[in-house]
Structure 1
């Protein structure tokens, strides 16, 4: 575990000019004046780390990276938060678990060496899959989301089925892992590196056994974790990690993927892990634009300035987070769009959760769909 001084150096926190642009850009600070990224950096660099590591505000950060888009000094604030949380976790500190801690319990259960899961019960006879293949589809936790969030109408398995259907349409029969585990993203960002490593080790072994050379994900968090964090902990990988948006956009550009007409007016929400963290902005829009009859209307806060879905790592979803979600949903509704599209199952869950809160108002209501599912419905042939 690195020392605080090493963390500060690695994240360029010493380069902070104390200008406060990070705090101005921060969605949490907008609704909670007591929270300030600038003060977190100040406390870390001026020897107040003991107080900082015990402070609940360490877990309030959305790790959305909006502040880093504004920072002129190159301070890696989200990495600073992640590493400080690791230190705090070692002291027994943690954020406030949402949904009764069910997701945290599930992730810890999945670290067990011997675990029987019904992970592929969603695969119907119309889908062609394999146990070994050059291309592997990493499903993520979607088989569990539909059960845990059935009360708010979550159907993320439609994304998984759509992904396989799209791959099949392109002549790809993907491998699926019957014993796949959570990628570990949320445990890592909650400071629990021990259990993150256990999940990662298991997944790497399973991917290797499937002889995959390309791993495709529909979840941006899985994409970022496999592509960036796994190599950081285990060295270079012997497979390529690709997000579904990248694969589909490339096929659209090559003329291999065409869609039938769909008269819809849509707006698109950039997930933080796909956009600011991975720089994938154009690919989702290229897919949407390739569907004849679809009109894409951008929200004022889009691309690098896109507003976060309001919560992270299944922690700290309170009044402030609901206000952020409400702001984003109102922004989407104001475009006049029929559908709010995104490329993240968890963004969809968080927005649906906000819409089911009667206290937030009916004006938040808007149809939400993943681009994968939306594109699948528009397939030709």
Structure 2
């Protein structure tokens, strides 16, 4: 079970001896839970002693390791890919037979049983998707893939994306069924179920003869671009764009002409879209293309952006802690004078909204797409 972890041994040893702790101060889990064993450094220390036989995997270790949002800010602080090591620790713990916290593993159980991590009715999703006219189109330049959170929790976000694409006269169709991309199960270490989902999605696009995929969920985007190649390396997957990449292009081509809006806004970089995928400029150019908007940056932005607290299964595993982390991010947005906090991920949208409600903040939480749609 530890074979997949052996490649991290030298760095884990070095991490213990350096004692710098930079990853700890940037870690959302540590900032909330206040024990060193919840930080990246603490997890790598456990990894080393597990490899050397001084520590046996158990439920206490699993509690620490699974309490990771997969944000990757520790990688920036350290320079070493700690988040990948932690991801592999999750998978290795499952392979070793350790009972991971049930609150995390219900993500995989629900996906296996119902096809989505929310355990929602697939027939209801199909009925909703069938109301979108573009599901009737056999071919188009882009196939829009809608993620589980958009379909089951944030349908207003879907409406905004559809409005923008139609206004720009983009040729696109929409998948008429919900198939989870596998990101939620992958983040909790269930490689097997993630591989199943990846195979289902890849086969679907092949059957549709999709030429280009358009993803409006940052988690789906990261999964398609960065994780599918390792999960199913033999498969061919069409090119993928996130909606902010396409919308940025449409604005520069003058295919969208937003109305003016006087407001001070700030932008929260989703971990999957920003730090993991390097997409920082496109959403900011969209914001700057709306006349009257003033964009102010938070101290922690771009590759240093703090996590909203929702990723890596953390929202499912520790909901109250995830919302508390989001509330601190909202306070950071308030501190720079913003009246609107924007993001480009439906999962960030959901958690930041709950964080704002937790502290009774008057700041408005929106996606870049929804704000733009309002100005068309």
Specify the TM-score bucket, using the shorter chain as the normaliser.
0.7 to 0.9
C-alpha deviation, 1:122, in angstroms? 5.1
**Is residue 367 of structure 1 aligned with residue 368 of structure 2?**
no
Once the two structures are superposed, the pairs formed by residues 61-210 of structure 1 within 5 Å of their partners are 61-71=68-78, 74-90=79-95, 91-97=97-103, 101=106, 104-111=108-115, 116=123, 118-119=125-126, 121=128, 124=131, 130-142=137-149, 144-146=151-153, 156-210=154-208
C-alpha deviation, 1:217, in angstroms? 0.7
Q: What count of residue pairs does the alignment treat as equivalent?
A: 359
User: What SS is found at the alignment partner of 1:299?
Assistant: coil
Instruction: Say if 1:129 and 1:285 are closer, same or farther in 2 by CA, change over 3 A.
Output: farther
Contact 2:195 2:232 in 1 (8 A): no
User: What SS is found at the alignment partner of 1:97?
Assistant: helix
Once the two structures are superposed, the pairs formed by residues 1-381 of structure 1 within 5 Å of their partners are 3-8=3-8, 13=12, 16=15, 17-34=18-35, 35-46=38-49, 47=52, 48=54, 50-51=56-57, 54-55=60-61, 56-71=63-78, 74-90=79-95, 91-97=97-103, 101=106, 104-111=108-115, 116=123, 118-119=125-126, 121=128, 124=131, 130-142=137-149, 144-146=151-153, 156-235=154-233, 237-312=236-311, 313=313, 314-317=315-318, 320-357=321-358, 361-362=359-360, 364-379=361-376
Contact 2:179 2:200 in 1 (8 A): yes
Q: Deviations over 1:94-152 (max 9, x none)?
A: 23527x95x5554223449xx74533525657768623323100001135433xxxxxx
Instruction: Say if 1:70 and 1:132 are closer, same or farther in 2 by CA, change over 3 A.
Output: same
More helix by share: 2
Instruction: Say if 1:105 and 1:45 are closer, same or farther in 2 by CA, change over 3 A.
Output: closer
> C-alpha separation between the residues in 1 aligned to 2:69 and 2:125?
32
C-alpha deviation, 1:365, in angstroms? 3.4
> C-alpha separation between the residues in 1 aligned to 2:253 and 2:5?
49
- Structure 2: runs of 5+ lacking an equivalent: 117-121
Contact 1:264 1:293 in 2 (8 A): yes
Q: Judge which range, 287-296 or 302-311, deviates more.
A: 302-311
> C-alpha separation between the residues in 1 aligned to 2:276 and 2:220?
12
C-alpha deviation, 1:65, in angstroms? 0.9
Note the aligned Cα RMSD (angstroms).
2.7
Instruction: Say if 1:202 and 1:127 are closer, same or farther in 2 by CA, change over 3 A.
Output: closer
> C-alpha separation between the residues in 2 aligned to 1:238 and 1:141?
20
Structure 1 match to 2:119: none
Instruction: Say if 1:225 and 1:373 are closer, same or farther in 2 by CA, change over 3 A.
Output: same
C-alpha deviation, 1:308, in angstroms? 0.9
Instruction: Say if 1:26 and 1:343 are closer, same or farther in 2 by CA, change over 3 A.
Output: same
Contact 2:144 2:213 in 1 (8 A): yes
Give the TM-score normalised by the residue count of structure 1: 0.85
Instruction: Say if 1:253 and 1:120 are closer, same or farther in 2 by CA, change over 3 A.
Output: farther
Contact 2:72 2:83 in 1 (8 A): yes
Instruction: Say if 1:125 and 1:135 are closer, same or farther in 2 by CA, change over 3 A.
Output: closer
Give the TM-score normalised by the residue count of structure 2: 0.86
User: What SS is found at the alignment partner of 2:172?
Assistant: coil
C-alpha deviation, 1:168, in angstroms? 2.2
Q: Deviations over 1:155-174 (max 9, x none)?
A: x2122122222222232231
C-alpha deviation, 1:350, in angstroms? 1.1
> C-alpha separation between the residues in 1 aligned to 2:180 and 2:85?
24
> C-alpha separation between the residues in 1 aligned to 2:158 and 2:150?
9
